[in-house]
A and B are shown apart, each in its own frame.
Chain A
Amino acid sequence: MNYPKITKIKDIKKENSNVKTLFFDFPKKTHPGQFFMIWVPTIDEIPMSISYIENDVKGITFKRVGDSTNFLFELKVGDKLGIRGPYGNGFKIKGKKVLFVGGGTGIATLTPTVENAINKKILATVVLGAKNKSELFFEDRLNNYGVDLQISTDDGSKGFKGFTTDLAKELIVKEKFDSIITCGPEIMMKKLFDISKDISFQASLERYMKCGIGICGQCCVGKGLRVCEEGPVFDRKTLKNIEDFGIFKRDASGRKIKF
């Protein structure tokens, strides 16, 4: 039943000065790229990607940006949250050599899929991008998986200087990837979608969500595609027909907000 299960925080990991991971027991099977609806009691209920899948223990990783995430950031081990899910479709790994592009906190969504790819002996190149060095996280985790890690920062404080899409473009020209998997700001994903032309492509979209179970329609894109149900991961063929992709999203009232 789609009712929040009240769960105690089991462990907390600080990933950088503004990013934390909360771990909790969640025995139900989850697929990389799926998400939970996290009930922050008395504040809000928000969708959050699953960033760690360790058997019965799952994790969510977030940056403090608003009321809910600021509240979550201050929680201690043993504090309670409501969790329902997992929701959505998740990523499908295609081919033998995959390029992952994570912008900002998008890497939290991607990493379980990277882990999955490595377990399947697939060659993974990961572009990890952020505004600057201090905003990066999961660098050690990705290095431990043995991926080809490519860091980019907008200001050049670490790795490639420039946008993730600029670095990704160089890599796409230089090497032959069977598919691209991405999560990050939608403008970035749209740019990547355009420059990668006909390479197999999957992007995880983010929209304001309410029900998470495919009825309220708040998160619909294109012709009634529910990000919570048919998404959040969409492939190239589907994205081609979603005219909102990279153009606008909707706020809580349903008004269109340009990216």
Chain B
Amino acid sequence: MVNLTTKIATLNLMNPTILASGIMDEDAGSMERVYNCGAGAVVTKSIGLEPKKGYPNPTVVELENGILNAMGLPNPGINQYGNEIKVLKTLKIPVIGSIFGLNSKEFVEIANKMENYGANAIELNMSCPHAEGYGLEIGSDSKLVEEITLKVKESTKIPVFIKLSSNLPSVTEIAKSAENGGADGIVAINTVKAMKIDLELKIPVLSNKIGGYSGKAIKPIGIRCVYEISKSVDIPVIGVGGITTGEDALEYIMAGASAVQIGSAIYYRGIDVFKDICKEMETWMKEQGYCDISKLIGVAHE
């Protein structure tokens, strides 16, 4: 038997695949479906203090080797979204609440509410590449990253993960700031800042012009970031970016990830992709004579 159970901070997951933020996480029903399709845990979409409608369409477009999006952090606000968290809690589905804010005060307020509604952990979105004043604009300032992490950690009891961008001169510097602030884990990477221009119309396709690229094309970027980050910090790393197969997940784990997040692969392989990836990991491990996934974490560093 192959053991895929995964522990990150206080979270015990039946397998290392986690639904990434922003995909199929509009409500409890969607996340319940993803969980039933084999995900070990789910991350909510990024939630702010007040309702936010996001950018007009086009917000998503498929490109040759991935998907480009700029949603603009649409969300109903923490007070209304809290009901979805409550439902997941009663179903005992491990849920990581993704949140975004303008400053530490906002992050703390939303984190407290997430915790009270029943989230098992919190993911601070410090990496959205296309929202003015939020995400990457905060996540590229190491002092702010440390301060916000510290303040959120001081006011909550559940694990706090920091989701980072690859669009940084040094991912390790920012990861270290998060660790100094007391983060329980690093999530890397968010979508990669990108653009698509339509030749016929001669304008960017996305209404926000700039978006974030996900899918197969960004996997090597994610692998590099996870490798660098896991080498420089002592807290767990959750790998995300272009994971479509069990082999992709194993590559992230070898780079140093304790768990992985999956998003765009739902488009390429359907919602059952969580089960499929777990099966593929099991098959590979059996063939190679591994019985415990934890034994593979960071082996590429040895």
List 16 A-B pairs, Cβ < 8 Å.
A6-B201, A46-B57, A80-B200, A82-B198, A210-B60, A215-B23, A215-B60, A222-B29, A223-B33, A224-B27, A224-B32, A250-B76, A253-B54, A254-B80, A254-B81, A255-B77
Q: Which of A36-44, A110-118, A129-137 contacts B (4 or more CB under 8 A)?
A: A36-44
**Would you call A217 and B51 a contact (CB within 8 A)?**
no
Q: Known contacts A3-B61, A216-B60, A222-B29; decide if A251 and B53 are in contact (CB<8 Å).
A: yes
**Would you call A44 and B56 a contact (CB within 8 A)?**
yes
**Would you call A3 and B74 a contact (CB within 8 A)?**
no
Output the least CB separation between A212 and chain B (Å): 8
CA distance A157 to B240 in the complex (A): 60
**Would you call B263 and A41 a contact (CB within 8 A)?**
no
**Interface set, chain B 52-72, CB cutoff 8 A to A:** 52-54, 56-64, 67, 69, 71
**Would you call A223 and B80 a contact (CB within 8 A)?**
no
**Would you call B62 and A254 a contact (CB within 8 A)?**
no
**Would you call A253 and B23 a contact (CB within 8 A)?**
no
Interface check A2, CB cutoff 8 A: yes
Output the least CB separation between A182 and chain B (Å): 23
CA distance A224 to B33 in the complex (A): 6
**Would you call B58 and A217 a contact (CB within 8 A)?**
no
CA distance A2 to B31 in the complex (A): 24
Q: Known contacts A41-B203, A222-B29; decide if A210 and B264 are in contact (CB<8 Å).
A: no
Q: Which of B31, B51, B63, B200 contacts A253 (CB 8 A)?
A: B51
Q: Which residue of B lies closest to A38 (CB)?
A: B57
Chain A positions near chain B (C-beta within 8 angstroms): 1-4, 6, 37, 39, 41-46, 80, 82, 209-218, 220-226, 250-256
Q: Known contacts A4-B58, A39-B58; decide if A253 and B52 are in contact (CB<8 Å).
A: yes
Output the least CB separation between A159 and chain B (Å): 37
Which B residues touch A209, using CB under 8 A? 57
Q: Which of A2, A3, A216, A255 contacts B71 (CB 8 A)?
A: A216
Among B34, B77, B205, find the residue whose CB has the most chain A CB atoms closer than 10 A. Answer: B205
Interface check B155, CB cutoff 8 A: no
CA distance A218 to B27 in the complex (A): 9
Which A residues touch B6, using CB under 8 A? none
Chain B positions near chain A (C-beta within 8 angstroms): 22-27, 29-34, 45, 51-54, 56-64, 67, 69, 71, 74-77, 80-81, 198, 200-201, 203, 205, 207, 263-264, 266-267, 271
**Would you call B29 and A41 a contact (CB within 8 A)?**
no
How many residue pairs, one in A and one in B, have C-beta atoms under 8 Å apart? 129
**Would you call A220 and B59 a contact (CB within 8 A)?**
no
**Would you call A44 and B74 a contact (CB within 8 A)?**
no
Question: Which 4 A/B pairs are nearest by Cβ-Cβ distance?
Answer: A224-B33, A45-B57, A224-B30, A6-B200
CA distance A224 to B88 in the complex (A): 13
CA distance A50 to B120 in the complex (A): 44
Which A residues touch B32, using CB under 8 A? 223-224
Q: Known contacts A4-B205, A217-B45; decide if A211 and B30 are in contact (CB<8 Å).
A: no
CA distance A256 to B83 in the complex (A): 11
**Would you call B203 and A42 a contact (CB within 8 A)?**
yes
CA distance A46 to B207 in the complex (A): 13
Output the least CB separation between B296 and chain A (Å): 28
Which B residues touch A220, using CB under 8 A? 24, 26-27, 29-30
Q: Which residue of B lies closest to A213 (CB)?
A: B267
Which A residues touch B77, using CB under 8 A? 253, 255
CA distance A28 to B198 in the complex (A): 21
